[in-house]
């Protein structure tokens, strides 16, 4: 009885230390069109000309680049170029694309914040200069 308890405890420790879930799952194959779709989305995300938007209620991700619009939902990516509408089911890849989107958008927000801080500092210095140049009668 004591030996089986030790054995169980040992295997529980091993299970906690190692993740065996990937060994038994089948990897889904990605078609050539899905791979092309992923490459398009990654290039649009990394482009400085792209407009990135997240819908607050639905949680959908939108990328607008010239005439091209990409919408990422929970498991789908839609690419619209004005003439054609492409829709891809991508449950195995959507998380990576959404993460890349969020990282890029966060970077844009950080740049905007740093520009705001620079402008604020510049304004504070001009205010101080104006006050120092004024003659104050006491």
47-84 residue pLDDT tens: 999 999 999 999 999 999 999 999 999 889 999 998 89
User: Which of 8-12, 24-28, 39-43, 112-116 shows the highest mean pLDDT?
Assistant: 39-43
DSSP 8-state code for residue 26: P
Give the up-direction half-sphere exposure of residue 135: CA atoms within 13 A in the CB hemisphere.
1
Top pLDDT among 45 and 117 is at 45
Top pLDDT among 21 and 47 is at 47
**What is the three-class DSSP state of 68?**
strand
Q: Among 78-82, 99-103, 133-137, which is the least confidently predicted range?
A: 133-137
Cα 30 to chain centroid, rounded:
21
User: Quick one: which H or E segment has residue 61?
Assistant: strand 61-65
Is 51:64 a contact under the CB 8 Å cutoff?
yes
């Amino acid at each position: 009885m004591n030996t089986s308890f030790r054995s169980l405890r040992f295997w529980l420790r091993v299970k906690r230390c190692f993740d065996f879930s990937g060994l038994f799952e089948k990897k889904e194959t990605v078609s050539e069109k899905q791979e092309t779709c992923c490459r398009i989305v990654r290039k649009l995300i990394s482009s400085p000309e792209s407009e990135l938007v997240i819908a607050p209620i639905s949680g959908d991700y939108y990328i607008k680049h010239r005439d091209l619009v990409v919408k990422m939902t929970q498991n789908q990516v839609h690419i619209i170029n004005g003439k054609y509408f492409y829709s891809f089911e991508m449950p195995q890849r959507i998380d990576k694309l959404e993460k890349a989107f969020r990282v890029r958008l966060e970077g844009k927000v950080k740049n905007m914040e740093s520009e705001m801080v620079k402008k604020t500092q510049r304004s504070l210095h001009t205010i101080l200069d104006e006050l120092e140049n004024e003659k104050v009668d006491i």
